[in-house]
């Protein structure tokens, strides 16, 4: 049974928990603010995040069906941290991510990492030893419904951009973090052939030959592979992308914004295949890994170097123990 979503948390209560020491940076556009909190140090902000996530994910065809989207990874003793973008004028959250630093990941009695993706993906020994300690795992990315571009016009235009600003700041204050590991989500309501085109295209251009991470139960494409191979027969990413964009539009759809955003971030992104998230509206989750030092120059300048310019002192923190981000500050 689907539960009613909780009422909004009062702005005064949220502001009381979004204190200056929890602010990571100001955004490049829209003059919003980015905060890092946890369910332990900001329980009411966590409730509001859970409320907004559930609204956004239900609207897209996913969600938990509960009154808030909050799970054990948000609330465990060493919880995922919540990166949120706050609009100080409207006094509301416009989007967020949750993340866990790889060097803080704990392991269960079977030697499996306690990660929100562990029920969908198997992690190779090579990944656990050579990549995980230097990786930020990202999840539950959302933009509040009112700020989604199609609804909000210019107000929503930079919402996703603001989230990237926060991620850029993370890699500066935690310089040992070399990779982002996350998921691109496709919803069951998305056109099946369109989904297959996108996944085939991603696998062709961003295939992980090392099998660092593999889906436990991989999603099978419904479209004839020979048809997809014929469709995407170009040598270059650009030419195949042009075909993908045209074909998806012919179906009356667009490539999902986050898929486009990830593809535009790094030419060396790795794609690990797709698994179904059965506890979350049967959404289809595609694992990806992006190397921070291979993020395209224009994105690096906008999201990473701008943070350094805003915060010159941060480069003096050689340990990476920024008070907003360190484990001791949860």
Domains and CATH numbers, the chain: 11-309 (3.40.630.30)
The top-scoring range by mean pLDDT among 135-144, 152-161, 206-215 is 206-215
For the ranges 56-65, 123-132, 301-310, the lowest mean pLDDT is seen at 301-310
Strands 179-186 and 135-143: parallel
CB of 73 closer than 8 Å to CB of 79? yes
> What is the average pLDDT across 253-268?
83
Question: Which residues of the chain form beta strands (DSSP E)?
Answer: 23-26, 33-37, 81-87, 92-101, 121-123, 135-143, 179-186, 213-215, 270-277, 283-291
Which residue in this structure is represented by tokens 């009411």?
44
Phi, psi of 206 (to 5 degrees): -130, 30
Q: Model confidence at 261, in pLDDT bands (50, 70, 90)?
A: confident
Q: Model confidence at 167, in pLDDT bands (50, 70, 90)?
A: confident
pLDDT, position 323 = 42
Global pTM reads 0.86
Chain centroid to CA 182: how far? 6
pLDDT, position 326 = 42
Whether the predicted pLDDT of 229 surpasses 60: yes
pLDDT, position 257 = 76
* 230 Rama class: left (phi>0) / alpha (psi -120 to 50) / beta: alpha
pLDDT tens readout for residues 14-31: 999 999 999 988 777 668
Chain centroid to CA 249: how far? 25
> What is the average pLDDT across 264-286?
88
CB of 50 closer than 8 Å to CB of 96? no
Whether the predicted pLDDT of 293 surpasses 80: yes
CA dihedral over 131, 136, 140, 142, signed as positive or negative: negative
Q: Model confidence at 234, in pLDDT bands (50, 70, 90)?
A: very high
Q: Model confidence at 300, in pLDDT bands (50, 70, 90)?
A: low
Whether the predicted pLDDT of 320 surpasses 80: no
Residues whose CB is less than 8 angstroms from the CB of residue 230 and which lie 6 or more positions away in sequence, other chains included = none
**Using CA atoms in the order 104, 305, 33, 77, what is the torsion angle rounded to 10 degrees?**
0
Burial of 307 (0-12, 13-18, 19+ CB in 10 A): buried
pLDDT tens readout for residues 178-188: 999 999 888 88
- How far apart are alpha carbons 263 and 245 in whole angstroms? 13
Task: Point out which residues pair with 207 in neighbouring strands.
Answer: 271
Please enumerate, as own/partner, the contacts of 7-13 that have beta carbons within 8 Å and a separation of 24 or more: 8/48, 8/51, 9/44, 9/45, 9/47, 9/48, 9/51, 11/91, 11/92, 13/44
First to last CA, the chain: 34
For the ranges 72-86, 127-141, 253-267, 303-317, the lowest mean pLDDT is seen at 303-317
């Amino acid at each position: 049974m689907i539960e009613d979503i909780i009422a909004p948390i009062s702005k005064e209560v949220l502001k009381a928990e979004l204190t200056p020491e929890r602010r990571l940076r100001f955004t490049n556009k829209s003059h919003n603010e980015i905060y890092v909190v946890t369910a332990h140090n900001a329980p009411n902000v966590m409730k509001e995040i859970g409320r907004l996530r559930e609204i956004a994910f239900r609207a897209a065809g996913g969600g938990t069906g509960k009154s808030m989207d909050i799970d054990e990874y948000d609330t465990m003793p060493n919880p995922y941290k919540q990166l949120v973008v706050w609009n100080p004028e409207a006094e509301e959250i416009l989007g967020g991510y949750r993340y866990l630093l790889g060097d803080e990941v704990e392991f269960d009695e079977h030697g499996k990492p306690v990660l929100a993706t562990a029920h969908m993906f198997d992690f190779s020994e090579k990944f656990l030893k050579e990549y995980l300690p230097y990786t930020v795992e990202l999840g539950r990315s959302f933009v509040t419904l009112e700020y989604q571009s199609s609804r909000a016009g210019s107000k929503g235009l930079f919402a996703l951009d603001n989230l990237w600003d926060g991620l850029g700041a993370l890699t500066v204050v935690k310089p040992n973090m070399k990779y982002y590991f996350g998921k691109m989500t496709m919803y069951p309501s998305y056109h099946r052939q369109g989904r297959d085109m996108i996944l085939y295209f991603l696998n062709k251009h961003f295939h992980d030959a090392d099998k660092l991470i593999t889906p436990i139960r991989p999603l099978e494409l419904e479209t004839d592979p020979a048809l997809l191979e014929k469709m995407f027969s170009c040598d270059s990413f650009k030419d195949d992308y042009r075909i993908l964009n045209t074909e998806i539009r012919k179906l009356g759809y667009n490539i999902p914004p986050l898929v486009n955003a990830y593809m535009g971030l790094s030419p060396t992104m790795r794609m690990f295949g797709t698994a179904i998230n059965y506890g979350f509206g049967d959404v289809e989750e595609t694992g990806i890994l992006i190397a921070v030092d291979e993020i395209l120059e224009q994105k690096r300048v906008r999201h990473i170097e701008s943070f350094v310019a805003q915060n010159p002192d941060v480069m003096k923190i050689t340990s990476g123990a920024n008070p907003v981000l360190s484990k001791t500050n949860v």
